[in-house]
A and B are shown apart, each in its own frame.
Chain A
Amino acid sequence: EAGVAQSPRYKIIEKRQSVAFWCNPISGHATLYWYQQILGQGPKLLIQFQNNGVVDDSQLPKDRFSAERLKGVDSTLKIQPAKLEDSAVYLCASSLGTSGGLKTQYFGPGTRLLVL
């Protein structure tokens, strides 16, 4: 079974520029998550999709971050404009569902963003 795919793996941009990350979840996984992991911290959930609907985006800085999952499969996360404090690893994860054993999340390799 193919795992969660993410691209790009690394990105360096200057502050105030925009950037987009892409995630392709495991086939058949209805739930998709985007996390931000700042160096030395644990992952912080930014947004959770169930199919193509947003379940929770309470920790997404909506003034600069946006995410979509138009066809309920792959997803993009965008930052516009980027700030220095956005430097982090952005992790995508997917799960079969949101209850019981379906909640097990499978993570992608992450995208490491450096904002200069």
Chain B
Amino acid sequence: AQRVTQPEKLLSVFKGAPVELKCNYSYSGSPELFWYVQYSRQRLQLLLRHISRESIKGFTADLNKGETSFHLKKPFAQEEDSAMYYCALGNFNKFYFGSGTKLNVKP
């Protein structure tokens, strides 16, 4: 069963526009959710965790248990945000990644 769904393979926005990368999950219980990012020619790295409730590089993500979603948002996209974004779910000793969304921020 697919645990993490990212419905958009590619999302293109203009610089300064708001951006929302969608993530839905299927899990009964209290999952831990993460967003990982991979910039061009760099390693996969953690962007943020839902437990921390923090804003990193202007990005935020709210866990909505009713809708089983953990969408990533930024009010004003920057060109340097262009990257591959992966939503991930952690359950005890298992991790499930979504298939990723490529964000392209156009000048």
Give which listed residue, A3, A56, A93, A110, contacts B93 with CB less than 8 A: A56
B interface secondary structure, majority: strand
B46 touches A42 (CB 8 A): no
A41 touches B99 (CB 8 A): yes
Give which listed residue, A35, A45, A103, contacts B32 with CB less than 8 A: A103
Give the size range of B's interface with the partner.
Answer: 20 to 34
A42 touches B32 (CB 8 A): no
B43 touches A44 (CB 8 A): no
Contacts of B88 in A (CB 8 A): 42
A-B contacts, 21 listed (Cβ < 8 Å): A3-B43, A4-B43, A42-B6, A42-B86, A42-B97, A42-B98, A42-B99, A43-B86, A45-B95, A48-B93, A48-B94, A55-B93, A56-B93, A56-B94, A91-B44, A101-B51, A104-B46, A105-B46, A105-B95, A107-B45, A110-B43
